[in-house]
Structure 1
Amino acid sequence: MIAHIAGIIAAVAFLVLVCFIGIFLVRMTKTMGEINRSLNTITDDVDALSHQTENIMSNANELLKDVNGKVASIDPAFQAMGDLGQSVSDLNAATRELTAKVGKNNEKKNRFASATKVGKAAFDVYRDRRNKHHDEEE
């Protein structure tokens, strides 16, 4: 009889083990199903993000090409402005030089004019004396 009781206990223990394994497998199946659904959702989201990212990158590349083209088209304008600035600077330098030369020439002219006035005054004095001397002789 003890053998029958031991067999029944072993059978009950095996039945409990099978039930726990069954419950574990059912829960594991549910978890795996949720993981599969989550992976499908994540895959769909990543595909959508990838598509949007490709569109953004394409638009960014087009925008960059457009900006590069426009920058290339205005480069000559900036070069011309730089050349104009250099020309204005050269003109200012030439004007300063001319002003300095004119100032020096005016200084020389003023000296010459002073010398001329002194010479004229001296000549006038000489002529007046000669005329007086000539008038006295007559």
Structure 2
Amino acid sequence: MNLTGGEIAGLIAAIAFAILAISLAVVIFKAGSVIGELNTTIDEVNKTITVLTKNTDHLLIEVEGLLNKSNTTLNDVNGKLSLTDPLFKAVGDLGLSVSELNNATKNLTTQLSGSAKKGSTIGISRKVGEKVSRL
């Protein structure tokens, strides 16, 4: 059996084509399994998204209720805090009165000590009585 050059070239081409066809078949088969796994993954992702959407909806409803309760509580606290304003005003007025009383006492003491240096104890008693009656 003698093979000519054309027959050898044809045989090599046929073997190369067979190898190429087998390689292509293997690649297509593997791509098919990858696509099958991808479809399975996409189905699982869709199921997970559905569950997450339901859970998120429930969570948003709970958060909205919590925010409503927080707003109600905050409004109540603000109302009660505004009721304490007169108390703080009264405490401030009391502080001013005490400060004025301290200043008057200091002035009286200063005037009496000056009078004590000048006069007798009878004069001091009379001046104390006059100052207290003015207050």
- What is the TM-score when the length of structure 1 is the normalising length? 0.65
Aligned positions, number: 117
The one-letter amino acid of 1:91's match is: L
Q: Say yes or no: does 1:22 pair with 2:25.
A: yes
Distance, in Å, in 2 between the alignment partners of 1:6 and 1:105 is 134
State the superposition RMSD in angstroms: 3.1
Alpha carbons of 1:103 and 1:17: their partners in 2 closer, same or farther (altered >3 Å)? closer
Question: Which one has more relative contact order, counting CA pairs under 8 Å at least 6 apart?
Answer: 2
Alpha carbons of 1:11 and 1:98: their partners in 2 closer, same or farther (altered >3 Å)? same
Give, in angstroms, the shift of residue 57 of structure 1.
Answer: 2.2
- Hey, what does 1:34 align to over in structure 2? 37
For 1:61, what is the secondary structure of its paired residue? helix
Gaps of 5+ in 1: 119-138
Distance, in Å, in 1 between the alignment partners of 2:38 and 2:11 is 40
Moved over 6 A (4+): 102-108
Gaps of 5+ in 2: 116-120, 127-135
Considering fraction of residues, name the structure with more helix.
1
- What is the TM-score when the length of structure 2 is the normalising length? 0.67
Alpha carbons of 1:7 and 1:99: their partners in 2 closer, same or farther (altered >3 Å)? closer
Distance, in Å, in 1 between the alignment partners of 2:42 and 2:83 is 60
The one-letter amino acid of 1:77's match is: K
CA deviation profile, 1:30-88 (whole Å, cap 9, x unmatched): 11111221122122222222322222222112111110111112212111123311212
Of all paired residues, the percent bearing the same amino acid is 20
Distance, in Å, in 1 between the alignment partners of 2:94 and 2:51 is 63
